[in-house]
Amino acid sequence: MTRREKQVVRESFRSVGDVAEALALLFYGRLFEREPGLRSMFRGDIAAQGRKLMEMLAAVVENLDRAESMTPVLQAMGQRHAGYGVTDRHYDVVEEALLWALGQALEANFDAEARGAWRAVLGQVSAAMKEGAAMVPPPVLRT
């Protein structure tokens, strides 16, 4: 990511501020509208889940200048996600729903540049998570 993209992501995430929880709820609403089948994967309280998601995004945004420090964290998270039943295809749906929710929260401040910068950061996150998922050892086959 370019310096400018990182700066745009940091600034826009800062302006999400107080509405982070609402943004997360908007995100899940959109996600389940798009893919109702995903709802049953989420076993816990969705507001609590939203806080975890936003905390993880905050860590990613904080570490944009040392993205490699997040790689093992994201890979491990991708492994856990494979265990929840998440497949590579789901990452596109999640990215789109997140971009949409950011747009709802930031309104005019979420311009084409901000959208592009967020697309880049989410693409990196998903790539590392998918790498982690691919590291999951295959289940032992019983004959």
Q: Interface residues with ligand HEM (CB under 6 A)?
A: 38, 41-44, 49, 52-53, 56-57, 77, 80-81, 84, 86, 90-91, 94, 122, 125-126, 129
CB of 65 to ligand HEM, least distance (A): 19
> Which CB sits closer to ligand HEM, 49 or 63?
49
* DSSP 8-class letter at 143: -
Residue (36 or 140) nearer to ligand HEM, CB = 36
Amino acid at 4: R
Instruction: Considering the complex, state which of residue 44 and residue 139 has its C-beta at the smaller distance from ligand HEM.
Output: 44
Q: Using CA atoms in the order 76, 77, 83, 86, what is the torsion angle rounded to 10 degrees? A: -130
Place of tokens 């997140």: 98
Read off the tokens for 30. 């959109």
Structure tokens at 57: 């995004």
**How far out from the chain centre does Cα 78 lie?**
11
| Rounded distance between C-alpha atoms, residue 138 and residue 123, angstroms | 25
Nearer to ligand HEM, 8 or 70 (CB): 70
The CB-of-43 to ligand HEM minimum distance in angstroms stands at 4
Specify the residue for token string 């950011």: 102
- Minimum CB separation of residue 108 from ligand HEM in Å reads 24
Phi then psi for 2, rounded to 5 degrees?
-80, 160
User: Smallest distance from the beta carbon of 143 to ligand HEM, in angstroms?
Assistant: 31
